[in-house]
Amino acid sequence: MSTLQKIKEVIASHKGNGKELVRRLHRQKLRHLSWSQLSTVERCPYEYYLAYVKHIPLDPEPDYFVKGRLFHEAAQGYYRAICLGRSPRSTDFTKIIKKHKNAVARTHLSNAVEMLIRNAFTGWEVIGVEKPFALDLGPDLPPCVGVIDLVLKRANTFAVVDHKTARRMWPQDPMQVAIYREHILEEFGAQECRAFFDMYRWVNNLDSIRTPAFLRKSARLSQKSFPRAVQRFEKGYAQIRQIEETGTAKASGDCWMCAYRSVCNRGY
């Protein structure tokens, strides 16, 4: 049985979240790649070394990780409620928001959930929420494993959606959703699949903002998008193998964006 098929069997029997899925794949020694791995090694090889080779825990966990995870939990609950025919309200997610200990962060989360509800997709059928997948990248690469935040369908058109949260709305990399789209085209035999980034900005007061707290951006993809993504995986995987074989990596990139900057010594 191929590694891809073994991973698909693990996914089919998996009931937990994405992190638990990755841990299970590691325990079974099923080699795979992910968009997170690729974007990390592209940004800074030493960050990849700390995160994926040394497995250094982030303690304390950066606040933006915590808020992002809680928002994704709320978005997951919202769209799953839609699947059940319910009309969720922002108060339905109070328990999730209260998991954060900081009052300002709870305000940010409450406002983001409010924007989620105001701007929810309508006229689409929810096909999947937090949908794990495994995708063949070619004979020279391990399978790509990931989790799609939201999968929708309207008539014969599918859509994949990735939720982003931050203090500012940064330009997003379309190659991420190109991978998601390729999986949907393959699994469902779809002829058309659109891709969106739903971006949420942390704000203190929705009534006194000058720039939007929410933006839905349609990713511009073509038939060349997935082959280009594979090329990036090939280059990134070569870097990953070198890091693993040598046990060394050079630091690069913007350190202010790195979750490991407090423990980083700028590489060897």
Average pLDDT, 10 consecutive residues per value, the chain (268 residues)? 94 86 92 96 94 88 93 96 87 94 96 96 94 96 97 97 95 97 96 97 95 96 96 98 93 78 66
Letter for the amino acid at 125?
Answer: E
CATH class given for the domain over 3-257: alpha beta
How far is it, in rounded angstroms, from Cα 80 to Cα 152? 12
* Residue 18: per-residue pLDDT: 83
CB atoms within 10 A of CB 33: 20
How far is it, in rounded angstroms, from Cα 13 to Cα 134? 13
For the chain, strand residue ranges (E) read 125-135, 144-154, 157-166, 192-201, 214-218
Domain spans of the chain? 3-257
* Residue 175: per-residue pLDDT: 96
* Residue 268: per-residue pLDDT: 42
Residue with tokens 């769209």: 79
CA–chain centroid gap for 135, Å, is: 15
Quote the tokens at residue 209.
Answer: 């903002």
* Residue 15: per-residue pLDDT: 82
pTM for the model stands at 0.93
* Residue 266: per-residue pLDDT: 64
